[in-house]
């Protein structure tokens, strides 16, 4: 949330600034103030003065944002809405990401090798950036292609990721 270019911030956070750089300028180099401004009264957060924007900014592996998502995808027994700082713990972040992934139905497009569809499910349509895809392919090409990653989530969720579908376009 650390921005130095007011025009860029105004364009990204259109709802808060209407694309007007002078409205965004007071929030440059002030990440907490910016988060509180742009996430106020959104995603289950309270007003700007509540501090919810900063408290419930994108966190964890899947970048949960807003009080509502922190509550909805809180792993059993964790209480992320009451303790959002817990999302920074790797085991909590992995479990929250797996809940999000499973409940949002992300396996369908992922199993089909549909990178754009999977990203849309996680990030929304505006987050389809080719640079990220190429970065992922670069990592895969450096030796991850035949690896399985399995997370033990302590729940009835089988969360595995195999890189081969990214390369071949075919489901496992």
Q: 82-86, 94-98, 130-134: which has the minimum mean pLDDT?
A: 130-134
The domain ranges of the chain are: 1-38, 51-103, 105-172
The span from the CA of 84 to the CA of 67, in Å, is 8
What percent of the chain is modeled with pLDDT above 70?
Answer: 72
- With vertex at residue 70, the alpha carbon angle to CA 1 and CA 67, rounded to the nearest 5 degrees, is 70
What's the pLDDT score for residue 151? 40
Rounded average pLDDT over 77-106: 94
Q: What is the pLDDT of residues 1-37, one digit of tens each?
A: 899 999 999 988 989 999 999 999 999 999 999 999 9
**90 vs 156, more confident:** 90
Name the pTM for this structure. 0.70
Residue 169 above 50 pLDDT? no
Q: What is the pLDDT of residues 151-167, one digit of tens each?
A: 444 444 344 443 333 33
Indicate the Cα dihedral angle 65, 69, 73, 75, nearest 10°.
70
Q: Which residues of 84-115 are buried (b: 16+ CB within 10 A; e: fewer)?
A: bebbeeeebbbbbbbbbbbeeebbebbeebbb
């Amino acid at each position: 949330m650390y921005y130095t270019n007011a025009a860029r911030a105004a364009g990204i956070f259109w709802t808060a600034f209407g694309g007007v750089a002078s409205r965004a300028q007071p929030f440059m180099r002030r990440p907490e103030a910016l988060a509180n401004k742009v996430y106020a009264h959104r995603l289950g957060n309270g007003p700007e003065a509540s501090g919810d924007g900063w408290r419930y900014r994108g966190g964890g592996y899947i970048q949960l944002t807003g009080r509502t998502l922190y509550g909805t995808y809180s792993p059993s027994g964790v209480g992320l809405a009451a303790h959002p700082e817990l999302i920074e713990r790797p085991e909590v972040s992995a479990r929250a990401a797996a809940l999000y992934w499973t409940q949002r139905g992300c396996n369908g497009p992922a199993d089909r090798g549909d990178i754009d569809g999977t990203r849309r499910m996680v990030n929304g349509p505006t987050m389809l950036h080719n640079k990220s895809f190429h970065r992922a392919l670069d990592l895969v090409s450096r030796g991850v292609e035949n690896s399985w990653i399995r997370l033990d989530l302590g729940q009835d969720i089988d969360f595995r990721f195999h890189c081969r579908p990214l390369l071949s376009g075919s489901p496992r």
